[in-house]
């Protein structure tokens, strides 16, 4: 089953500008190697709130292709060796959704990532609320929203990851005042990041 990787990397503290540039070039090389390996597009994004946070979002044929074929591969191990002194991996997990419906665009140069965490028994209520409120949320966004459930999860917990495109930060912040957002927030703990879109 195709899945979407969602991972966050952080530049180590104390790096000079040459080292940061080396890390950025390394990530660009990683993007190309993963695309060659999978045949799918990958995206590298930088967070607005903390520019030292970089995100990788891309499609894999399956979790097994990513974890059992790519991770131990010679190409990936070489990347880890080169980038290890400059970048920390904060987290990596997979989502049962295709990211392709939210490509970079001039109309929506940034997007938010809403991580809706809930107890497992609340998942049906959240799914119903999201289904009923999705169109209302999309009225406030300049494009289609898309999301899916985290595959690797803690026992008794569920996480729904929602990608929403925006023209700017102010437009995103206005969402928090809507009834649709209020209804969804009742059934989950929400963590959001704003990511500017750029492809290396």
Question: End of a domain among 65, 82, 99?
Answer: 99
| Domain housing 190 | 100-196
Sheet with 157-166: strands ordered across: 146-149, 157-166, 110-119, 189-196
Whether residues 172 and 134 fall in one domain:
yes
**pLDDT, position 70:** 98
Domain count, the chain: 2
Higher pLDDT, 3 or 105: 3
Question: How confident is the model over 13-49, as pLDDT tens digits?
Answer: 999 999 999 999 999 999 999 999 999 989 888 888 8
* 9-22 as b/e: b if 16+ CB within 10 A: bebeeebeeeeeeb
| Alpha helical stretches, state H, the chain | 17-38, 63-64, 74-83, 123-140, 169-175, 179-185
Residue by residue, DSSP assigns 154-196 as -TTEEEEEEEEEESSHHHHHHHTTSHHHHHHHTTSEEEEEEEE
Whether residues 95 and 116 fall in one domain:
no
CATH number of the CATH domain containing 122: 3.30.70.100
Higher pLDDT, 124 or 174: 124
Whether residues 137 and 165 fall in one domain:
yes
Question: How confident is the model over 56-68, as pLDDT tens digits?
Answer: 999 999 999 999 9
Whether residues 69 and 121 fall in one domain:
no
Higher pLDDT, 62 or 98: 62
Whether residues 60 and 126 fall in one domain:
no
For residue 78, the tally of other CB atoms under 10 A from its CB is: 13
Whether 102 shows a pLDDT value over 70: the answer reads no
């Amino acid at each position: 089953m195709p899945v979407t990787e969602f991972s966050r990397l952080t530049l180590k503290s104390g790096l000079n500008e040459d080292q940061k540039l080396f890390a950025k070039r390394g990530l660009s090389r990683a993007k190309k190697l993963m695309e060659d390996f999978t045949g799918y597009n990958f995206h590298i994004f930088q967070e607005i709130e903390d520019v030292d946070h970089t995100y990788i979002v891309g499609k894999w044929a399956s979790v097994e292709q990513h974890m059992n074929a790519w991770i131990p591969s010679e190409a990936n191990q070489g990347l880890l060796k080169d980038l290890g002194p400059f970048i920390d991996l904060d987290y990596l997990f997979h989502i049962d959704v295709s990211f392709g419906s939210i490509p970079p665009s001039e109309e929506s140069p940034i997007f938010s990532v809403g991580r809706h965490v809930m107890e497992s028994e609340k998942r049906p209520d959240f799914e119903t609320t999201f289904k009923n409120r999705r169109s209302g949320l999309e009225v406030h966004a300049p494009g289609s929203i898309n999301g899916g459930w985290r595959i690797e999860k803690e026992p008794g917990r569920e996480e729904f990851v929602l990608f929403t495109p925006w023209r700017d930060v102010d437009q995103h912040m206005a969402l928090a005042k809507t009834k649709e957002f209020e209804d969804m927030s009742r059934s989950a703990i929400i963590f959001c990041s704003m990511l500017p879109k750029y492809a290396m």
